[in-house]
Amino acid sequence: MENIVKNLPEKPGCYLYKNKDNKIIYVGKAKNLKKRVSSYFNKAHNFKTTQLVRDIVDIETIVTDNEKESLILEQNLIKKYRPRYNIVLNDDKKYPYIAITKEKDPVYVYTRNFDNKNQISFGPLPDGTSARNILKTLERIYPLRRCKGNLGKPCIHFHIDQCSGACFREVDPKFYDDQINNVKNFFNRTNEDFKNKLEEKMFIASDNLQFEEAQRIKDIISHLNFSVTEQFVDFNDNLNRDVFNFFETEEYIAYVVLFYRSGKLILKDQIIVKNKSQDPKALFENFIMQIYAKNMLPDFIVIPKELENTSLKLLFKDKITYGNDEGNLKVLELAKNNAKEFIRQEEMYKSQKSISKEELLDKLQKTLKLPKYPYHIEMFDVANILDEFVTGAMVVFKGGQPSFNDFRKYNIIIDEKGDFQRMQNMIYRRYQKDLNQEINLPDLIIMDGGKIQVHAAKSQLELLDLDIPIIGLVKNDKHKTEYILDTNEQEIRLDKSSEEFKFLELVQNRVHNYAISSFRKKQAKSFSKDDLSSIKGIGEKMIIKINHSYPSRNDFYNASHEEIKKIVKKDEIVLAIKELKNKLEIKK
C-alpha cells in the first residue's frame, strides 16, 4: 500500500478504494491526489475511518484537468458503484414542475423531469396532486394550445374555451406572451385575477346545481393556498432561493432544504444518514449536487457560513450565498431546527425498533448471502379475477424506504393465462428499457410467489443477459408471508418477530395492495365505461366530440350513416355503431 500511495500523482482527480474482493468501497475527490490519499494512512482517525482504512487493499485513481471536473466525476462514480462507505444521499430525487414548451404554439406539461429546453418552468411544487390540479386549472383560465394543432377545424377544447385555436388558425404570438405573463404573475403571487376567475366559475357551477364541479373548483382554490400561507420570514421579493442546512449527532447527520419561490416557502425536503466516516461537509456537497442534477436552479442557494470553503462555488458561482443578513440567518436557523427535529424523530423510531434501517439491510444481505448491499429492492405481483383486468405491479424500496415515484403498474394483455407468462411479460418490460442504464437496476428482485414466479423472472433476466439476485416470498393458505425462497431456491424460514421478516412482509403487503388497487381501478372503470369505447377506433377524444355534437346518445344512434361518418370517418366504425345500437335495444 505504501508503494501505491508514494507513486500517486500530485494532480486533481478522484480516488477509488477497493477491498480484498476487488469491490469499490469508497470514492473521494481531491485537489491533490497524493496528499489527500496519504492523509488516510499517516494520521490517527476516529473508529469509523479506521474501519475503512483496514478494508483497503488497492487504490485506483482518475486524474482530471481541474477540481471542478473531479467534483462532477465523484458524483457519477458514487451513483455508478454505490460504494459501501459512501452514501447516496438523494437518489433520483425529482420534484413536480409545470412547464410551458418552447414551440410556435406552446402547451402546458406536468413533469417530474426538469428540462431547461422548455420555454419556462415553475416549481418545484408541493406534491403531484397539487401540481396536476393547478395545471388543469391553468389550462382552463389561461389556455394555450390544447390539441395537436393544424387540424383544419376547431378542436373540442376550442369549443369550451380551453384551446388557443391553433387547431385551425394562426395565433397571434402576443396572445401567448400575454397568457405566459399571466401564468408568471400567478406563480409570483402578484395577480388576484386567477383566484377571482376561479371563484366566479365556482359560483356559476353552484348556481347551475353542478355541485361536484363547484366542489372540485373549491378544492383547487385550497390547493393554491400554499401561495398565501403565513411565512416565518417574508422576503418581500419575487426571487427564488433554496436554503440548505444540517445537524449532526454522534449517530446521525440530517440534511434539510427549504424551497422558497417568489419569497414564499412552498416545499421542504430532508434526508437522514448514519454518521459514518465521511466528512459532513463532503456529504453536504453531495446532497446539494444531487438535488440539482435533475432539478431547476434558483436565483440563490443559501448555505451556512461554516461551509463557505466547499467546492460548490466552482459549480454554482454567484448563486451561492451565505447567512449574511437577518432574513437569510433566520431561514438557515429554521432549516437547522428542522434537521434537529428530523433526527429526534429518527431516534424515537429507533427506540421503538431493535435495529436501524441500515442495520436491517445489512442483516438481510447476510441472511440471503447477497453479493451486494440491497439498497435498491424491487418487488413484483400480479392481480386478476377470472383472468380479467390483469394488472401487474412493481414497488421499489431504496434504503429500506418506499420510493413512491418509482412504483409502476403494468397492463398485461397477452393470450396466455398463466402467472408464469404474465410475470415474464412484466419482468421483460421492466428491465428491457434499462439494459444500458445499469444505475437504474436493483440490487435485489423479489417475486410474490414461489418457484413458478422466480423461474419466470430468471428466464427473462437470462434472455436480457442480466445478473440480478432473485428471491421469492411464499404465502401460506391464509395469505400470510410464510417463508423465503432464496437465490438458490432453498427455503429460509425466519423468526416472524425478527425485523428482517417484518420488513419483507411489509414489502410483500405493499406490492399486493398496490396491485389490487390498480386492478380495482381498472374493474371500476370498466363498469362505468362508455358503451362506445368497446368499438375499435373510438377513443376518449372521439366520444367527447360525439357528446358535443349530439344532445343525447339516442340522437347520435338514430343519426343517418352519413351524419355519423362525418365524425368517425370510417364506414366500418359506423356499421359497428349500428350493431351496438341493435345490441343495446335487444338488452332493453
pLDDT attached to residue 473? 94
Residue 461 within any structural domain of the chain: yes
Residue 317 within any structural domain of the chain: yes
Residue 413 backbone phi and psi in degrees, to 5: -120, 90
**Interval 317-344: pLDDT, tens:** 889 998 778 888 889 999 999 999 988 8
Q: Please give the share of the chain, as a percent, with pLDDT higher than 70.
A: 87
Q: Is the pLDDT of residue 312 over 90?
A: no
Last residue of a domain, one of 335, 352, 369: 352
Residues 441 and 508 placed together within one structural domain of the fold: yes
Q: Please give the share of the chain, as a percent, with pLDDT higher than 90.
A: 33
Contact 292, 269 (CB under 8 A): no
**Interval 397-427: pLDDT, tens:** 988 888 887 888 888 878 777 889 999 999 9
Q: Is the pLDDT of residue 558 over 90?
A: no
Q: Is the pLDDT of residue 527 over 50?
A: no
The larger pLDDT score, comparing residue 380 to residue 478, is at 380
**What does the alpha-carbon distance between residue 510 and residue 507 come to, in Å, rounded to a whole number?**
5
pLDDT attached to residue 377? 95
**What does the alpha-carbon distance between residue 195 and residue 370 come to, in Å, rounded to a whole number?**
55
**What does the alpha-carbon distance between residue 568 and residue 550 come to, in Å, rounded to a whole number?**
13
pLDDT attached to residue 224? 60
**What does the alpha-carbon distance between residue 484 and residue 449 come to, in Å, rounded to a whole number?**
9
Residue 91 within any structural domain of the chain: no
350 — pLDDT class (breaks 50, 70, 90) = low
135 — pLDDT class (breaks 50, 70, 90) = confident
- Nearest-5° Cα angle at 444, 400 to 374: 40
CATH assignment of the domain containing 20: 3.40.1440.10
Residues 63 and 179 placed together within one structural domain of the fold: no
Residue 92 within any structural domain of the chain: no
- Nearest-5° Cα angle at 61, 60 to 64: 160
Q: Is the pLDDT of residue 503 over 50?
A: yes
Q: Which range (65-74, 464-473, 524-533, 566-575) has the least confidence?
A: 524-533
E strand or H helix at 195: helix 193-207
| pTM of this prediction exceeds 0.85 | no
Q: How many CA atoms lie within 13 A of 137 on its CB side?
A: 27
pLDDT attached to residue 9? 92
The larger pLDDT score, comparing residue 49 to residue 385, is at 49
Residues whose CB is less than 8 angstroms from the CB of residue 533 and which lie 6 or more positions away in sequence, other chains included: 539, 540, 543
pLDDT attached to residue 333? 92
Residue 458 within any structural domain of the chain: yes
Residues 9 and 125 placed together within one structural domain of the fold: no
What is the arithmetic mean of pLDDT over 236-255?
86
487 — pLDDT class (breaks 50, 70, 90) = very high
Residues 545 and 482 placed together within one structural domain of the fold: no
Dihedral over alpha carbons 34, 40, 42, 46 (to 10 degrees) = 160
Residue 554 within any structural domain of the chain: yes
**Interval 100-113: pLDDT, tens:** 999 999 999 988 88
Q: Is the pLDDT of residue 300 over 70?
A: yes
Q: How many helices (H) and strands (E) does the chain have?
A: 20, 19
The larger pLDDT score, comparing residue 252 to residue 356, is at 252
- Cell of residue 336, nine digits: 437547522
Residues 108 and 205 placed together within one structural domain of the fold: yes
**What does the alpha-carbon distance between residue 134 and residue 98 come to, in Å, rounded to a whole number?**
9
pLDDT attached to residue 284? 84
The larger pLDDT score, comparing residue 475 to residue 191, is at 475
Q: Which range (10-24, 51-65, 277-291, 457-471) has the least confidence?
A: 277-291
46 — pLDDT class (breaks 50, 70, 90) = low
- Cell of residue 344, nine digits: 429526534
**Interval 148-200: pLDDT, tens:** 999 999 998 998 889 999 999 999 999 999 999 989 888 876 656 677 777 88
Last residue of a domain, one of 482, 500, 525: 525
- The number of angstroms, rounded, from the C-alpha of 284 to the middle of its chain's C-alpha atoms is 22
Last residue of a domain, one of 504, 525, 546: 525
pLDDT attached to residue 529? 56
Residues 370 and 510 placed together within one structural domain of the fold: yes
The string of DSSP letters for 280-331 reads HHHHHHHHHHHHHTSS---SEEEE-GGGTTSTHHHHHGGGEEES-SHHHHHH
The string of DSSP letters for 62-78 reads EE-SSHHHHHHHHHHHH
Report the number of distinct structural domains present in the chain. 5
132 — pLDDT class (breaks 50, 70, 90) = confident
For residue 46, what are the domain limits? 2-81
146 — pLDDT class (breaks 50, 70, 90) = very high
228 — pLDDT class (breaks 50, 70, 90) = very low
Q: How many CB atoms lie within 10 A of CB 296?
A: 18
pLDDT attached to residue 126? 73
Q: Residue 14: what residue type?
A: C
What is the arithmetic mean of pLDDT over 229-246?
73
277 — pLDDT class (breaks 50, 70, 90) = low
CATH assignment of the domain containing 498: 3.30.420.340
Residues 512 and 551 placed together within one structural domain of the fold: no
530 — pLDDT class (breaks 50, 70, 90) = low
**Interval 363-375: pLDDT, tens:** 999 999 998 889 8
User: DSSP character for 495?
Assistant: -
pLDDT attached to residue 20? 87
pLDDT attached to residue 528? 45
- Encode burial over 424-436: b for 16+ CB neighbours within 10 A, e otherwise: bbbbbebbeeeee
Residue indicated by cell numbers 359560483:
203
What is the arithmetic mean of pLDDT over 234-251?
83
pLDDT attached to residue 400? 86
Residues 455 and 571 placed together within one structural domain of the fold: no
Residues 419 and 514 placed together within one structural domain of the fold: yes
Residues 287 and 139 placed together within one structural domain of the fold: no
The larger pLDDT score, comparing residue 140 to residue 553, is at 140
The larger pLDDT score, comparing residue 13 to residue 133, is at 13
The larger pLDDT score, comparing residue 272 to residue 386, is at 272
Contact 272, 252 (CB under 8 A): yes
Residues 398 and 452 placed together within one structural domain of the fold: yes
| Average pLDDT of the chain to the nearest whole number | 83
What is the arithmetic mean of pLDDT over 218-246?
68
143 — pLDDT class (breaks 50, 70, 90) = very high
What is the arithmetic mean of pLDDT over 464-484?
91
The 3-state DSSP class for residue 262 equals: coil
What is the arithmetic mean of pLDDT over 61-75?
90
The larger pLDDT score, comparing residue 309 to residue 12, is at 12
The larger pLDDT score, comparing residue 474 to residue 345, is at 474
Q: Is the pLDDT of residue 543 over 90?
A: no
CATH assignment of the domain containing 252: 3.30.420
What is the arithmetic mean of pLDDT over 214-240?
64
Residue 87 within any structural domain of the chain: no
Residue 140 within any structural domain of the chain: yes
CA-based nearest residue to 190, from 238, 225, 142: 238
Residue 258 backbone phi and psi in degrees, to 5: -110, 125
Bridge-partner residues for 269, per DSSP? 257
What is the arithmetic mean of pLDDT over 475-492?
89
The larger pLDDT score, comparing residue 525 to residue 236, is at 236
The 3-state DSSP class for residue 402 equals: strand
Residues 296 and 332 placed together within one structural domain of the fold: yes
**What does the alpha-carbon distance between residue 95 and residue 107 come to, in Å, rounded to a whole number?**
20
